[in-house]
Amino acid sequence: MPAEGWAVVTEAELYAGVVRRRTRAVEKRSSVEGMLRDLSELKIGDPVVHEEHGIGRYQGLVTLDLEDGKAEFLFLQYEGGDKLYVPVSQLGVIGRYSGAQPEEAPLHKLGSGQWDKAKARAAKQVRDTAAELLALYAKRASRHGHAFGIQQHDLEAFAAGFGFEETPDQAQAIEAVIADMASGKPMDRLVCGDVGFGKTEVALRATFVAVADGKQVVVLCPTTLLAEQHFHTFNDRFADWPVRIAELSRFRSAKEAAKTVAELAAGSMDIVIGTHKLLQGSVKFKNLGLVIIDEEHRFGVVHKERLKKLRQLVDVVSLTATPIPRTLHMSLVGIRELSIIETPPADRLAIQTYVTRYDERVIRDAILREVQRGGQVFFLHNRVETIDRLALKLADSVPEAKLAVAHGQMRPRELEKVMLDFLENKTQVLVCSAIIESGLDFPNANTIIINRADKFGLAQLYQLRGRVGRSHRHAYAYLLIPGEKAITPDAERRLRALQELDGLGGGFKLALHDLEIRGAGNLLGEQQSGQINAIGFELYTEMMEKAVSELKGEIVAPEVEPEIRLEIPAYFPENYIPDANQRLLFYKRLASVRNPLELAELKEEIQDRFGPYAPVVENLFMVMDLRRVLKEFLVKQISVSNGKVFLLFHPESPVKVEKLLELIRKPKSKFRLAPDGRLSFTPQHQEWEMLIGEVVQLLRGIHESAPQQTLPLESLRG
């Protein structure tokens, strides 16, 4: 910008030709909890859940000057206009509400007892559900699976056939799957990764481990076309290995299918790839060791029951780009293992997404732009009875491009030929039904036009859009609608969510958006959805996690959200970080800091982005670091009054009783223990930094890295 006197230079221009490995920094962002609890997307009026007070609406951040000094608060509005101001240091008790649609969120009245009743009902039902789920999965855990032997040298040779560098997330997913296979426990892992982020390679490595150990592998696909594509991919990767692969789908004749079934039963066929035909009772295996399920949510209830039985016997890997809420939920609470591939492959670009009315000029321009740069176009029209008529109309509108039609009611051989021609670039535009939805890979197709996009579900739209943008070229998705007034509010929300999620790696976030739009739905039975709507998905998930741990006999460590009342101004001034959502995000990040090193890194990042900071920001860092220590020692409240410091402990605080008694019983001791279990003392220093240091030193002193011991406050009172 010459007029402004500045220019932008990218990293790639500064370090041209330097290949850099991606850092592991992505791991922080990959945390499931981080994605679920991210408040940075909050808009005014959005519903949020306060763990103690229930569901209210977020009305923004406000700065208040109370006795405790100036600080920033989340302003929440409840039923009947009740107001609640939550200090940013207590962000841990706030979560986004997802369950019902935002405008239908059930707001609570403060102090009415509604929230406690809703939580109690949900807690009872959560426990029942957890017991049911655990019984189901305990059956599998109690059985001994096959511990696969890993031939490391052969596995490395096979991995060398992968033509790309693994992304960090992909490498982690591969390691996790192979470790599960070697463990001897039946594996049930969900690999969630965006379209084209390398889930198939995870499946290929697992397949190699199974086949190398003499076991048979089944790859289940929801559609015939996807089975065909996987068949070609697996044949290419195993070309140099003595492995026999067959396909069982409607693309194969009855004679070929019968031969494959016989070879599977005899054990002479190593890998079989196919659709639900593989789940028929007539298909028997001699030595089945691994089942790979692509897009499990596309299979029907009957097929899922058959899969449930398979899960008890063999290792299972499920691949999905958009995990449905139930699957997502079960993964989050640790009943299934979850691997997320969130890092895009190098050179991958985000898909430009446009929502527009059906307009022949827009369609012609979009097709011509793609064809003129040597690319191909999908035009998706999901009504088979009118698809030929539409194709003729398009041929008239864009005579420069060669068109073909593909849909599921065509004869298998005819459909196969159309797809092969498109793959070999003999046709430029494929007018098709949603048959292209799952997993197909046409790297040269980089524009998709979806007619009546409002008729599709969010996960389906996401999958369809993922058919393009699988190379290093810019890809475009046009979502055609009859008009803004002609679509439902739900459809409008779906399309808006898809536009907002045009970045890479959005599949996981999309499942959460889907959850918010559709409601949390049926996790095991109809009754769950009511409880989820009542308390929100996030809190329901936390309760489920605790219930699962308790039923497993694990010790669930208590947690506190410390109340800090130190009369110290601590906040981000509005003129330092002007955007409220950014401030909220940094408050949240400060609240999740786990050690001094992380805090130092965050301080450095904030100073780097927003410049030198005022003393109130330094105070905030100090207070948030103190909060971390208070959480560690289960201190519920710290306050200062009349020159004294008061500490209120949780009954299960890991404070050593003898140490505490020693302090109180010393002659002329400055320490007192009140009947309510509050420890008070007069600090040596009144300056904040020194005082906070004194509190931390005291807590470490009465803990002294001793083995955890409950503090029986009742026995000390009075």
Contacts 24+ apart (CB under 8 A), 616-622: 616/70, 616/569, 616/570, 616/571, 616/573, 617/571, 617/572, 617/573, 617/576, 619/568, 619/569, 619/570, 619/688, 620/570, 620/571, 620/572, 620/590, 621/590, 622/568, 622/570, 622/688, 622/689, 622/692
Q: Is the pLDDT confidence value at 140 over 70?
A: no
pLDDT in the model for residue 395: 93
pLDDT attached to residue 401: 93
Q: Which residue has the higher pLDDT, 206 or 517?
A: 206
* pLDDT value at residue 274: 92
pLDDT tens by residue, 574-585? 999 988 888 888
Quick one: which of 271, 260, 209 has its CA closest to 236? 271
Residue 605 has pLDDT above 50, yes or no: yes
Is 25's pLDDT higher than 50? no
Cβ-contact 606, 613 below 8 angstroms: yes
Which pLDDT score is estimated for 291?
A: 93
Report, as an integer, the average pLDDT of 173-184: 93
Measured between alpha carbons, how far is 453 from 591 in angstroms, rounded to an integer? 40
* CA-closest candidate to residue 480, choices 504, 469, 464: 464
* Pick from 160-164, 168-172, 451-455, 708-712: least confident: 708-712
Terminal alpha carbon distance of the chain: 73
Q: Could you write out the DSSP letters of every residue in 43-108?
A: -TT-EEEETTTEEEEEEEEEEEEETTEEEEEEEEE-GGG-EEEEEGGGGGGEEE--SS-GGG----
Select the more confidently predicted residue: 676 or 718.
676
pLDDT at 325: 61
Separation of alpha carbons 141 and 312, rounded Å: 8
pLDDT at 82 over 60: yes
Residue 34 is predicted with a pLDDT of 46
Q: What is the mean pLDDT of residues 316-321?
A: 88
Q: Region 475-483: what's the mean pLDDT?
A: 91
Overall residue count recorded for the chain in this entry: 718
Residue 168 has pLDDT above 60, yes or no: yes
Average pLDDT (234-247) is 94
- Rounded CA-CA distance 199/217 in Å is 17
What is the share, in percent, of the chain residues with pLDDT greater than 70? Answer: 84
Whole-number pLDDT of residue 313? 73
Report the range of poorest mean pLDDT among 97-111, 117-131, 203-217, 557-571.
97-111
pLDDT band per the 50, 70, 90 thresholds, residue 504:
low
pLDDT at 28 over 60: no
Query: What is the pLDDT at residue 558?
Result: 83
pLDDT above 50 for 286? yes
- Close Cβ partners of 677 (under 8 Å, ≥ 6 residues apart): 648, 649, 651, 713, 716, 717
Worst-scoring range by mean pLDDT, 237-251, 667-681, 687-701?
A: 667-681
Identify the pLDDT of residue 165: 83
- Please write the tens of the pLDDT for every residue from 194-215: 777 889 999 999 999 999 999 9
What percent of the chain is modeled with pLDDT above 90?
30
CB 131: neighbour CB atoms within 10 A? 13
pLDDT of residue 576: 92
With 80 as the cut, is the pLDDT of residue 236 above it? yes
Mean pLDDT is lowest, of 225-229, 293-297, 615-619, for: 293-297
Average pLDDT, the chain: 82
Q: The whole model's pTM is what?
A: 0.63
Specify the pLDDT at position 707.
43
Tens-digit pLDDT profile for residues 385-425: 999 999 999 999 999 999 999 998 888 888 888 988 998 89
Could you give the CA distance from residue 85 to residue 95 in angstroms, rounded to a whole number? 15
Residue ranges and CATH numbers for the domains of the chain are 113-142+520-557 (no CATH), 146-341 (3.40.50.300), 351-501 (3.40.50.300), 563-716 (3.90.1150.50)
The pLDDT score that the predictor gives to residue 332 is 60
The pLDDT tens digits for 323-348 are 666 666 666 666 678 888 877 777 77
Instruction: Give pLDDT, residue 617.
Output: 93
Q: Per-residue pLDDT tens for 41-56?
A: 678 888 889 988 999 9
Of 60-64, 83-87, 578-582, 714-718, the poorest mean pLDDT is in 714-718
Pick the residue with more confidence: 279 or 638?
Answer: 638
